[in-house]
Structure 1
Amino acid sequence: MAPYHIRKYQESDRPRVLDLFYKGMAEHAPTTFRHLLKLPQTLVLLLGGPLALFLVSGSWLLALVAGLTLLAALRFLAQYPWTQYVSNCLRTDMRDISKSYLSEPGSCFWVAECEGQVVGTVGALPAGEPTLRKEQLELLHLSVAWEHRGQGIAKALVRTVLQFARDQGYSEVVLGTSMLQYSALALYQRLGFRKTGQCFPSVINRLTAILIFHLTYRLPSAQVSQAPGQRQDL
Structure 2
Amino acid sequence: MAPYHIRTYQESDRKPVLDLYSTGVTGHVTATYRYMLTLPGILLLELGVPLFLLLLSGSWLLAVMSSLTLLLFLWFLVRYMWKHIVDTTLRTDLADITKSYLSACDSCFWVAESGGQVVGTVGALPVKNPPPGKKQLQLFHLSVAVEHRREGIAKALVRTVLQFARDQGYGEVVLETTMIHRSALALYQGMGFTKTGHYFVNILWKVTGIPMFHLMYHLPSAQDRGL
TM-score by length of 2: 0.95
Helix, strand or coil at the partner of 1:140: strand
Runs of at least 5 residues in structure 1 that lack an aligned partner in the other structure: 229-234
Whether the aligned pair in 2 keeps the contact of 1:134 and 1:169 (CA below 8 Å) is: no
2:221 is the alignment partner of 1:226: no
Distance 1:126 1:217, change over 3 A: same
Measure how far apart 1:206 and its partner are.
0.6
**Counterpart in 2 of 1:201?**
201
Measure how far apart 1:134 and its partner are.
7.0
Tell me, in whole angstroms, the C-alpha distance in 1 between the residues paired with 2:81 and 2:156.
Answer: 28
**Counterpart in 1 of 2:91?**
91
Tell me, in whole angstroms, the C-alpha distance in 2 between the residues paired with 1:87 and 1:2.
Answer: 32
Which structure 2 residues correspond to residues 34-53 of structure 1 after superposition, within 5 A?
A: 34-53=34-53
> Which 4+ runs in 1 deviate beyond 3 A?
224-228
Tell me, in whole angstroms, the C-alpha distance in 1 between the residues paired with 2:41 and 2:143.
Answer: 32
| Coordinate RMSD, CA, aligned | 2.0
**Counterpart in 2 of 1:118?**
118
Tell me the amino acid that sits aligned with residue 225 of structure 2.
Q
Helix, strand or coil at the partner of 2:221: helix
Which structure 2 residues correspond to residues 1-234 of structure 1 after superposition, within 5 A?
A: 3-129=3-129, 135-221=135-221, 225-226=224-225
Number of equivalences? 227
Helix, strand or coil at the partner of 1:170: coil
Tell me the amino acid that sits aligned with residue 34 of structure 2.
R
Tell me, in whole angstroms, the C-alpha distance in 2 between the residues paired with 1:6 and 1:163.
Answer: 13
Measure how far apart 1:80 and its partner are.
2.4
Identity of aligned residues (%): 62
Tell me, in whole angstroms, the C-alpha distance in 2 between the residues paired with 1:76 and 1:127.
Answer: 34
Tell me, in whole angstroms, the C-alpha distance in 1 between the residues paired with 2:46 and 2:104.
Answer: 51
Tell me, in whole angstroms, the C-alpha distance in 2 between the residues paired with 1:80 and 1:106.
Answer: 34
TM-score by length of 1: 0.92
Tell me the amino acid that sits aligned with residue 184 of structure 1.
A
Runs of at least 5 residues in structure 2 that lack an aligned partner in the other structure: none
Helix, strand or coil at the partner of 1:30: helix
Distance 1:130 1:102, change over 3 A: farther
Measure how far apart 1:227 and its partner are.
5.2
Tell me, in whole angstroms, the C-alpha distance in 1 between the residues paired with 2:134 and 2:226.
Answer: 25
